Structure 1
Amino acid sequence: MILYEIPGRDNIAVENIVFDYNGTIAVNGKLIDGVKELINELAKYAKVHILTADTYGTVAKECVYIDAEVITFPKENAGKSKKEIVRSLGGHKTICLGNGYNDILMFEEAILSIAIVEGEGACGKLLSKADIVTRSIEEGIEILLNKNMVKATLRT
């Protein structure tokens, strides 16, 4: 579990971290360099889940050495599928990271959400639902690994 103490706000106790796959930790179906190591570091503190419709059919190969549960779902109603997965994990104890329109519902369900702007861009509507926005997945994970960065960004 990770505990984030944020001045002026309730503390955030996190048991799960959910990553969207394509556009967030992968571009064109290929894992972004350096992400595997960062996610494995994060997995020392919370359960990691990677959600995908597996558009490119690469997630099993790309994530084989990541300490995470890969969850696939049908391409239809991806947003609803992601929301239900986060709800089943307990949204009140789950952080979500994503970049697309179909991540909006899971962001609304999560206790904390981070929008990632990577090589595939990010949905503008998603940015208004995010608690934090970063320029890369590496920055997003590094922020989660550094409690002071979360505190500095979210304090009142």
Structure 2
Amino acid sequence: MLKIEIPGEGIAELKYLVLDYNGTLAADGKCSERVKELIKNISNVMEIYVLTADTYGCAYEEIKGLPVKFQRVDPLNGGEDKKNFVEKLGGEYVAAVGNGKNDVKMFQVSRLRVAVIGKEGAFFGALMNSDIVVTSPEDALELFLNTKRIVATLRK
């Protein structure tokens, strides 16, 4: 678990990292080796889930062998699926990372929300419902290994 004291906001106790796949961790369905390395490092302190509508059909193969739990969501109702999943975990313990329209509801019930504007872009609503916006999956994941970045961005 990560405990992050954010001045003026209190302590965030983050047990779970919930990640979207396409456009967030991956570009055109492919996940970089650096992203995989960062996921391995984060798994030492947080339980990691990858939720995806799997647009390219290769997400499971791309992340096979990583210390994550994988779940496909409905291509038409994925936003609701992601929201329900986070609520079952206990949203107050969840850091969510995403970029798409189907990530907005998940963001709304998560304690910490990170939007990624990568090669595939990002949905405006995801940006508006995030706490932090970054420009690469690596930057998003590195936040959880160097939590002072989160503190510096979110302090009042």
Short-chain TM bin: over 0.9
Larger mean CA deviation between 72-81 and 90-99 belongs to 72-81
What does residue 8 of structure 1 align with? Answer: 8
Return 5+ residue gaps in structure 1 as ranges: none
**Is 1:109 paired with 2:113?**
no
Would the aligned equivalents of 1:36 and 1:65 in 2 still touch at CA under 8 Å? no
What does residue 92 of structure 1 align with? Answer: 92
**Is 1:118 paired with 2:118?**
yes
What does residue 50 of structure 1 align with? Answer: 50
Return 5+ residue gaps in structure 2 as ranges: none
Once the two structures are superposed, residues 98-137 of structure 1 have per-residue CA deviations (whole angstroms, 9 ceiling, x without a partner) of 0001100000010000000111001112111100000111
**Root-mean-square deviation over aligned CA pairs:** 0.9
Once the two structures are superposed, residues 4-63 of structure 1 have per-residue CA deviations (whole angstroms, 9 ceiling, x without a partner) of 011111100010000001100011111134100001111110100000112211012101
Aligned length: 156
d(CA) in 1 for partners of 2:61, 2:29: 10
**Is 1:143 paired with 2:150?**
no
Aligned with 1:97: secondary structure?
A: strand
d(CA) in 2 for partners of 1:117, 1:57: 22
4+ runs deviating over 6 angstroms: none
d(CA) in 1 for partners of 2:95, 2:65: 22
TM-score w.r.t. the length of structure 1 is 0.97
d(CA) in 2 for partners of 1:73, 1:99: 15
Percent identical among aligned pairs is 38
TM-score w.r.t. the length of structure 2 is 0.97
d(CA) in 1 for partners of 2:66, 2:120: 22
